[in-house]
Each structure stands twice: as structure tokens, then as C-alpha cells.
Structure 1
Amino acid sequence: MKKYFIQKSPFAVPTTDGKLIEEHHGMATTNNAAISIAHMIAPPHWKEPFQTPEFEEYTYIISGKKQFIIEGETIILETGQSIKIDKNTRIQYSNPFDEPCEYMAICIPAFDFTKVHREE
């Protein structure tokens, strides 16, 4: 029995806003509720509604820039930077810039639509 798993077919999460989401590990791909790891590309001028997730989220910027509004404070991460955001924190993710932003997102426990609490 192998003690490892190589993900060769990440799950492409359907989106309507032009954002690429490829989940490598998590509920949709490996039925793992403990962690999710996703590769993402946010197109220029993309944004999500504010949310208050019940999970920690770590973000590592591969290229470009990404804006975070965390409890009212605006933070911009650039290539090579990362951030950890505690669970139950009100946040908005966006890319108000003219270039795409490529990044990795890790959620602990795994991302769950029923626990993200997006504002409409």
C-alpha cells in the first residue's frame, strides 16, 4: 500500500467570474475535510463579496498582486509574499489591478461553501 498520493487531476471548480480554481486536495477531490489546497488565478478587476469563514486560510502569491480587506484594513500582497487569516475573520478578496494574480490557497479545515458565509 502506497503511503503517498500524487494529484494529477485537480478539480476545476466551476466559476462565473473568470477566476480559475483548481482544487488539488480537499472535499471535492480527495474527500479530505481536514485541509484544502487550491491553485488559483484571479483575473484583473475580480472581487468576491465579503465573507467570514469558519476556517483558517493561507495564501501564497505566485505572481501578481492581490488585495485583502481584513476587518476594515486594506492589505496588498505581492509576488513571493504570504498571509495567514484566522477563522471567523471578516474579509474580502480582490484583484483590482490590471494583471492576473496567480496564487495558492490552503484552508484548514478544508474549504466548505456552507462555512464560508459570503455576504450578498
Structure 2
Amino acid sequence: MGAAVQRAIEKGRGLSGALDVAFVSAAAAQLLAAVTQAFREQAPDCEVHIREAQGDQLLPWIRSGEVDLGLTNLPVGDPDLTHSSVLVREARMLTVPVGHPFARRSSVLVADLTRVP
């Protein structure tokens, strides 16, 4: 990710070019919308192409160079890819029917989920 950001900065220094970015989660999409607007204002000759990826698409796109930068949920699960620190933290939510035993609880542990179908 650091290398892709560096390439974007270099392209923004009066050069034209394109930065291809893919995202997986809704939080990443919101982050990209704001960051892209700021980037375009500082580097008007650079194009930013953003597209949504499904979870199984992002890593192959990065490996092949189809995208320069990817934003996804951790863990990524590929030791060959470089990742940065956490950019966004997003709360998890479990949705169950009203009559489900978890519906009366204020929180549920991952271990609890392994005990129910």
C-alpha cells in the first residue's frame, strides 16, 4: 500500500497518470470517496479509478497489477502483500430473530457463534 501511495504522490507532482484503487467494504468506500476528492484537488491531472471488489477478487487484482491499491478487511491472509496500519475501524453487528437466545444479550463472543448452527 505504501508503494502505491508513493506512486500516487509522484504522479501528483505535475505528472498525469492513473491510480487504480479497489475496495471491499462499505467503510473503505466512504474513506475512498473523501480521500479521492482531496487527491483530485491537489493533483488535477491524475485520474483515480475506483471500483468495488468482492473478497476473492482483490488479492488476484493486486498480484496481477490490475489495481495499484486495495482497501479491505483484515486479516488479508497473504504474507507476500504489504499492508499498512489500520485505517478504519468498523463495528461488527450480529442480526438474529427476536426469539433467538442471542437477541437478549448485549454482546456475543466469536466462541459463542461456534456453538450454534
Tell me the TM-score normalised to structure 1 length. Answer: 0.22
Identify the structure with the greater strand proportion: 1
Over alpha carbons, which structure has the higher Rg? 2
